[in-house]
Every structure is written in structure tokens, then in C-alpha cells.
Amino acid sequence: MAFGKATPKAAVEEAEKPQPKQEEGDDDDSEEDPQPVQPRPGRRAQSGADNNVRPPTERERREIRNRVPIPVGRGARIAQIAGFLKLMFKRRHEEAKNSCFAIISPAERVAPTNEIHRFIQFCFREKWFALDLPNTGILPSEAERVLRQRRGFYREAEQPDAGVTKNVNDLVQFDPIGKKYIYGDEREAAEDAAYLLFDVYDLPLDAELKVKASAFGGGPSWEKDQPLK
């Protein structure tokens, strides 16, 4: 009335008109507290505390980059070991061009009461490779079990012509058992390795394994207790 120059009657009629109903979700001036915005799934809600999070150091970034996902299941572990053996064939014939060795062991020390060190080792010659198990890594009772249960294993002291070592004293002192393979049998060798690691040594399938690999005679050196990839 004061500024629009409306008559009192017109102003009353305008004020008494029913207001249109607002759609749900429309902004209004109600006094109810607004609902908080929910973060999208998989994302953390933003807060002022995020500004205080310390960025990772270079060492932490390097550890993350070098972290190796552990395969799930026995078949995946066998495939992982077979892939490494094929890599050693390539290294033996294309890089070192000389005999090589590789040792696979658990990343964490796993031992029975006599503190024996758990590992399996392979040697790679020109035309064949072999799995070698000295008694520094396997108990006598376990060696007997392997000889009974796995085809192709033998006592090297009883089969010195296998060619894994020509040192008779080593054969007698360490009395290892072993098995020879031709290149192309990496899958079979990996199955035997998995049997030793996960059945005889009783490691869990998700155990982290480390490898050491090098050529004999001062040749190339590759892994030095690094995760098996």
C-alpha cells in the first residue's frame, strides 16, 4: 500500500490468495536442517583434516612400486614358478651363456624345531635343468616322502652321473635328492616345486616367496632375495 499504491482492499485480497504447492526438493526457507551430502561410494568424504595428511616418502613410493601381488590358488602359484623357470632358460642361453642357479625360499623364516633353512634350488645347464635339494633345506624323513610320492626324484649319491655336481664329497656329506628336466618341462618342474613348498614344507599358498638368481663363474647376477614375480 505504501510503495505499490494499492488500495487496502486489493492488498488484502492479494495476501489471502492461496500459494502454489512447492515440488519436493525445491529450495525454500523452512527452518528444518538440511540433509548432509553423502559421499559417493568408494570415495572418502572431504574434510579439513585431509590437508594435514603427510605425503608418502620416496622410500615408501618405491616399496609400493615394488610390491608384488601374490597369486591366489595353487594353479596360479604353479604358473608363477613356471614363468620364472622359463625366464631362467632365457637368461642361461641369451645373457649368461653359462650355467646358472636359482634359489626359491619363503620371505619369512619358516623352520621346524631344528632350525633348518627352507629353500629349493635349481641349476640350469645347456641342455637340461635340475631341482636340487640338499639336506640343509629338507629333513631326512621329508626326503624319503618325496622319493616315495614324486616320480623322477633320486638320491644323487646313488646317481652321481646325473651331472648336477661332480664333487663326491658333497654328494656324501649333503646327500641331496634331485630331479632332472629338459627345457620345455618347466610346468612339471613348477608342479614339483609347489609340492615341496606347499605340501612338504607346509607353507600357505599365499606365502611370499623370494628368489636369488645368478650365473656361475662370475657371470651376470639378477635377483638377490627379491620377491618372486
Distance CA 153, CA 181 (A): 11
- pLDDT tens column, 160-172: 655 555 565 665 5
**Sign of the alpha-carbon torsion through 218, 222, 228, 229:** negative
Q: Which residue has the higher pLDDT, 60 or 135?
A: 135
Secondary structure of the chain as H, E, C letters: CCCCCCCHHHHHHHHCCCCCCCCCCCCCCCCCCCCCCCCCCCCCCCCHHHHHCCCCCHHHHHHHHHCCCCCCCHHHHHHHHHHHHHHHHHHHHHHHCCCEEEEEEECCCCCCCCCCCCCEEEEECCCEEEEEECCCCCCHHHHHHHHHHCCCCEEHHHCHHHCCCCCHHHHHHHCCEEEEEECCCHHHHHHHHHHHHHHHCCCCCCCCEEEEEEECCCCCEEEEEEECC
The answer on pLDDT for 27 being more than 60 is no
pLDDT in tens, 141-198: 999 999 999 999 998 777 765 555 556 566 556 677 999 999 999 999 999 999 999 9
Q: What is the pLDDT of residue 189?
A: 98
Q: Are 131 and 84 in contact (CB under 8 A)?
A: no
Question: What is the distance between the alpha carbons of residues 139 and 125, in angstroms, rounded to a whole number?
Answer: 27
pLDDT higher at 179 or 7: 179
Phi, psi for residue 112 in degrees, rounded to 5: -75, -170
Asked whether 100 and 126 are in contact (CB, 8 A), the reply is: no
Q: Which three cell numbers stand for residue 66?
A: 615394488
At 191 the pLDDT is 97
Tens digits of residue pLDDT in 84-113: 999 999 999 999 999 999 999 998 765 444
Instruction: Give dist(CA 7, CA 76) in Å, integer.
Output: 89
